[in-house]
Structure 1
């Protein structure tokens, strides 16, 4: 049975609220990257690895404002000091947010009942985690770090995480709805299906009691919201990347961050997620996101990734066989 490390009520400020074409919550890859960075920093003597992550959101506050008091919101940006000439300094627009989340991180390689190793793991995570950034934001406090070694402890921990919402993978909804669109429009793309989950759509319902004599006469109507293709608190999310180039050998591409690892140019891949109350989660593994790397896809999935569900950018054809992906090379 899988064991999980609970990092409870992590307070984060100035986290990245923009993920590709979406905004409002960091991409799931931020949380997997956080766990991966912690895993690489653990002492070799432990012989452990941190794997998948289940994300529970308790509070979040996106830094936005309404300039006129009504209408569209805009990001509340930082004000930089003026330049040497006394002019306003240029800035890059950034969406930021404060959030409180809990993470359930899968622990691989820990023998059940090894209390000494478990205690050392908790001590190291308590020391290392506050030094890291989570989704680009600063970690202010971590309420508790605890190892959940069995099903009973995991069930009790889920109850203690209420109120909170867990992010679940619903890429199957996207695939199913795309097939429905294809039945009516052979040209419908995955992006068209994805937009239906992202948009708020309204349509006018005419009042049958008012039948105008003139076709140009306005007809009284009520505007009604069109429900999303599937029920639930569904949101568009960014779940990883797709390669748009061959996988180049280490050192072949200039000016990269790490010249000692293979390099591939990528674009964001999108899917659909669902926020569900924690009390509806029967098993932590049902919402545990893990890396699935299979060139040209580099994705985070709760289940095995497939090749036809993420949004597909144009890909440069390649016959390069050097396409193996290992997150340890990141």
Structure 2
């Protein structure tokens, strides 16, 4: 397999930004580090693309990132991770939001192209890119959401098996009738997590007719009101599983407002870190995503393509597995 800049960085124990500085003779690198990088290049027989390096001076040293909501903490962590590597690579970052609106997504792409950015990382609004004028002359990396027939590399979280694991966890605590709270099924994240739920129901032999799926919006106050309205009308299930951090936070707020005791009256689990400082009691069983790792992988891929003109022969999918943290929100373990 042909060695990459990432392989050189790993062998030298430095970042790809440092390797790039040594190869392009730009920025400050200590003599000791420089010699270490050159040795790694020699040992790996790494041959950077000389033509691509000669074109480096024509670049704008700008990259763009498009996310759904720039004020969303999850998206902010992706942006920050990308910014860290961009700074090291001596690039500036332009951030845009599309607010899950395709028209705003088109405008954001157009603005970045007008700025002549050298590459783009983006969270797509939907399940395909058919109506978007995607650039062909610069690298694009998709993050967080999958799209159909994409010709770009994608960095996403694993959703299906993680979803199955959370349902199984509730099942092992004796829960059989669930309320599954999810967002709109317009992109791969929610679709995969709901598919994982349905697979778990089948694998565990649960009665599908006894399970309830409640679709909620994306505003915390509205989610809380929707969940409370449902629970007051239909009563408490045995277990609740929320597929994203807003759905989970809105659910917890609704239960608090109703005076419902967790896990005594209902077990709760879900996706997303809603308790960064560990203050909530009970502690919640969560599948914690790693947006920093998503941003890191995406930015490394982007800069490898920008700096060394590496083309996409066959688009690849990079999976980041969420970390499941077991809390006390599901109650005492019960053998099935």
Question: Larger relative contact order (C-alpha < 8 A, sep ≥ 6)?
Answer: 1
TM-score norm. by structure 2 comes to: 0.22
Larger helix fraction of residues: 2
Larger strand fraction of residues: 1
